Amino acid sequence: MSLMECSTVSSLFGKGHASADSEELDRRIEKLKKDLNGQVVILGHHYQRDDVIRFADYRGDSLQLSRIAASLKDIRYIVFCGVHFMAETADILTGEDQMVILPDLNAGCSMADMADIQDLEECWDLLTEEYGDSIFPVTYVNSSAEVKAFVGRRGGMTCTSSNAERVLSEAFRVKKRVLFLPDQHLGRNTGVKLGVPLEEMCVYDPADMRLEFPHGRGEPRMFLWKGHCSVHQRFEPRHVEEVRKKYPGIRVIVHPECMYETVQLADDSGSTDYIIRAVRNAPPGTKWAIGTEHNLVHRLAREHPEQWIISLNEMICPCLTMNRIDRPHLLQALENLAAGTPSGVIRVPEETAYWARTAIERMLQLS
């Protein structure tokens, strides 16, 4: 399956956008950036498509970009080329006089959507009824503002793939058990690093409100939400075995959102930033099979011709929701800002923002 076959068809553009050729789109975006200079900053997530991220003033992961936006206090408009939960986090951390724009409001995240606030409330009630005040809630930043706020109200905190080990260590210092959501794989892989036996990890399935014990039934210390990244879950153990047979000596590095068995077979695992630094610091001639989003893998291959880089599984699509942010949507967002009629504005309600910010700040205090 090619990247072209995986790409989504953009729609609902402004007049003339769908028919504008590539050079014209670039020219119009560049002109609007220049016209809005000093008023707008464009943020581009690492997984963003190349023809969009080239216009980004800053590249990074979701929390890193949100913190950059918060530091740019004189910038009125933040155009976030990412997905919905990322723009929410930026709105939570930026000032009241700053406005966060998501060029396409349909750019969501399937993982974040797997943790619905009503389902989380039901889960919490069930678990605390059974296990009392022994549970510390932790949510991955890849979650909605409502979920972050829920965790913040109950004394918990957020984590990133970079600091999950540090956050979970603190959580276990405070309480006997941890509820980790929405990505079961990041939770399981991090728990294993901390020495939590697999049989002491169970999975909460919100579909039928019950606990599953896939690794044997021990005394539960980690409750893992039954959620996953639709891209990272498709890097399987067989892909590691196949790529090693085909390319002897290749190094396999994967994101910790991949399933436990894949991470165990890989040579290394780590956050997006960790993967980028590993490639950047490797000696020339290193061969890599990388298990993360295609746009980033192919970008690393172009930026590091002194190394040999492929995707661990070339047959998967890029993140389709991330790829909804395309040049026509970016152009439309900038045109609307220039006209004084902002579109795609992300506003998190004040109380939700307060408690979500609390959960984030507890995490940051561990740094």
Asked if 73 and 131 sit in the same domain, the reply is no
Does residue 10 have a pLDDT over 50? no
Strands (E) in 38-154, as ranges, are 40-45, 58-60, 77-81, 99-101, 135-140
Per-residue confidence (pLDDT) for residue 320, from 0 to 100: 85
**Using an 8 Å Cβ cutoff, are 90 and 346 in contact?**
yes
| Helix 117-131 / helix 145-153 crossing angle, nearest 10 deg | 30
Encoded tokens for 39: 């008023």
- Same domain membership, residue 251 and residue 154: no
pLDDT band at 16 (very low <50, low <70, confident <90, very high): very low
Cβ–Cβ under 8 Å, residues 100 and 94: yes
Judgement on whether residues 273 and 330 belong to the same structural domain of the protein: no
Residue 316 domain-assigned (yes or no): no
Beta bridge partners of 157: 138
Distance CA(296)–CA(356), nearest Å, equals: 29
Of 214, 212, 136, nearest to 181 by C-alpha is 136
Within a domain: 144:
yes
Residue 17 pLDDT level (bands cut at 50, 70, 90): low
**Chosen domain end from 205, 230, 255:** 230
Tokens of 350: 């004040």
Average pLDDT over residues 175-185: 98
Q: Are 168 and 212 in contact (CB under 8 A)?
A: no
Q: Residue 316: which pLDDT band, with cuts at 50, 70 and 90?
A: confident
DSSP 335: H
The residues pairing with 40 across neighbouring beta strands, listed in sequence order, are: 77
Tokens linked to 177: 């058990």
Residue 89 confidence (pLDDT) above 50:
yes
Query: Residue 272: which domain range?
Result: 232-311
The pLDDT value recorded for residue 154 is 98
Domain boundary among 230, 253, 281: 230
20 shares its domain with 102: yes
Do 186 and 250 lie in one domain? The reply is no
Same domain, 168 and 247: no
Give residue 319's pLDDT.
85
Q: What is the DSSP letter of 94?
A: S
**Pairing mode, strands 201-205 and 210-212:** antiparallel
Gap between the Cα atoms of 125 and 105, Å rounded? 32
Residue 166 inside a domain? The answer is yes
Q: Do 299 and 216 reside in the same domain of the chain? A: no
Q: How far is CA 103 from CA 110, 153, 337, in A?
A: 18, 31, 11
What is the pLDDT at residue 321? 87
Considering the domain architecture, whether residues 132 and 223 belong to the same structural domain is answered as yes
- 365 domain-assigned: no
2 pLDDT above the threshold of 50: no
- Write out pLDDT tens, residues 240-265: 999 999 999 999 999 999 999 999 99
Q: Would the pLDDT of 119 be above 80?
A: yes
The answer to whether residue 1 sits within a structural domain is no
Residue 105 scores a pLDDT above 90: yes
Number of domains composing the chain? 3
Identify which of 221, 194, 229, 225 has the alpha carbon closest to the alpha carbon of residue 212.
225
The percent of residues above 90 in pLDDT, for the chain, comes to: 89
Q: Are 221 and 244 in a shared domain? A: no
Q: Cα separation of 270 and 134, whole Å?
A: 29
Judge if 128 and 172 occupy the same domain: yes
Asked whether residue 362 is assigned to any structural domain, the reply reads: no
| Contact between 149 and 115 (Cβ < 8 Å) | no
249: Cβ–Cβ under 8 A, 6 or more apart, which residues?
287
Write down the mean pLDDT value for the chain: 93
What's the average model confidence in pLDDT over 71-75?
95
> Can you tell me the mean pLDDT for 24-41?
94
Is the residue at 188 inside a domain? yes
Per-residue model confidence as pLDDT tens digits over 185-223:
999 999 999 999 999 999 999 999 999 999 988 899 999
Residue 345 has pLDDT above 50, yes or no: yes
Predicted confidence band of residue 308 (pLDDT cuts 50, 70, 90): very high
Query: How far lies 297's CA from each of 48, 59, 164, 268, in Å?
Result: 11, 15, 23, 16
How much is the pTM? 0.92
pLDDT at 34: 94
Domain containing residue 84: CATH number: 3.40.50.10800
Give the rounded percent of residues in the chain with a pLDDT score beyond 70: 95
Is residue 83 in some structural domain? yes
Question: Does residue 87 sit in the same domain as residue 153?
Answer: no
Q: Are residues 242 and 136 in the same domain?
A: no
| Rounded-to-10 torsion of CA 89, 94, 100, 105 | 10
DSSP letter for each residue of 1-46: --HHHHPPPP-SPPTTTTT--HHHHHHHHHHHHHHTTTTEEEEEET
